[in-house]
Amino acid sequence: MYYTNMFRGFAVVAGAALATGLLSGLAGTANAAPGDVPPAKDRVIQPQGTKNLLVPTGANAGARIVAKPRIGQAQDTPESQVWTFDNSKKFDQNGKPISGGVSFVFQPTFGKPGVRALCIDVVGDSKQAGAAFELRPCDGTPSQVFVRVGDVQVPFVQNVLSGLNMEVQANGAVVQQPFVGRVPANATPAERQALQARNNAQHFLLSPKAFGVGGA
Amino acid sequence: MKTLTAVLALTVALGGLAACGSSGDQTQAGSATASASAGAEPDSTLSQPAPQQVPPPVREKISLTAGKAAVAGNEADVVRFKERIVYRFEADENRPSKVNCAEDCLIVWPPLLTDGTPVQLSGVDTNLVGTVTRADGFTQVTLDGWPLYLFKNDQSPDDTLGEGVGGNWSVVRPDGKPVVKK
- Strand order of the β-sheet with B84-85 is B84-85, B74-81, B63-71, B120-122
SS3 A153: coil
Residue B20, CA atoms < 13 Å, CB-side half-sphere: 14
Chain A neighbors of B110, CB-CB under 8 A = none
Query: What's the mean pLDDT when you consider all of chain A?
Result: 84
When pLDDT is cut at 50, 70 and 90, the band that residue A214 belongs to is: low
Q: How far is A205 from chain B (nearest CA, A)?
A: 9
Query: Mean pLDDT throughout A157-170?
Result: 97
Nearest to A147 by CA among A111, A185, A190, A99: A99
Chain A CB contacts of B18 under 8 Å are 21
Q: pLDDT at position A37, please?
A: 83
Chain B residues touching A145 at Cβ < 8 A: none
Q: What is the pLDDT of residues A100-109, one digit of tens each?
A: 999 999 999 9
Nearest CA in chain A to B50: A163
Q: Is A176:B48 a contact under the CB 8 Å cutoff?
A: no
The nearest CA of chain A is from the CA of B148 a distance in Å of: 14
Put simply, the chain A residues between 64 and 83 with a CB less than 8 A from any chain B CB are none
Interface confidence, given as ipTM, is: 0.77
Query: For the segment A74-89, what is each residue's pLDDT rounded down to a tens digit?
Result: 889 999 999 999 998 8
Task: Give mean pLDDT, residues A12-34.
Answer: 38
- Report how far residue B106's alpha carbon sits from residue A142's, in angstroms, rounded to the nearest whole number: 10
Average pLDDT over residues B114-137: 97
Contact across the interface for B153 and A91, Cβ inside 8 Å: yes
pLDDT value at residue A143: 96
Indicate if the pLDDT at residue A182 is higher than 70.
Answer: yes
pLDDT at A176: 98
Q: Is 80 exceeded by the pLDDT of residue A212? A: no
Confidence of residue A216 (pLDDT cuts 50, 70, 90): very low
- Do B52 and A142 count as a contact with CB atoms less than 8 A apart? yes
Comparing alpha-carbon positions, the chain B residue that sits nearest to A195 is B42
- Dihedral sign of CA atoms A148, A151, A155, A161 in order: negative
pLDDT score, position B40: 54
Least confidently predicted of A2-16, A176-190, A193-207, B163-177? A2-16
Burial class (CB in 10 A: 0-12, 13-18, 19+), B17: middle
pLDDT tens profile B86-109 = 999 999 999 999 999 988 999 999
Cβ–Cβ under 8 Å, residues A57 and A66: yes
Chain A residues 153-192 within an 8 A CB cutoff of chain B:
153-156, 158, 160-164, 178-183
Share of chain B above pLDDT 90, in %: 69
CA distance B135 to chain A (A): 13
pLDDT score for A91 = 84
The whole-number pLDDT of residue A1 equals 40
- Asked if the Cβ–Cβ distance from A13 to B8 is below 8 Å, we say yes
Q: State which H helix or E strand residue A22 sits in.
A: helix A2-28
The reply to whether A127 touches chain B by the CB within 8 Å rule is yes
Q: What is the mean pLDDT of chain B?
A: 82
Residue A34 confidence (pLDDT): 61
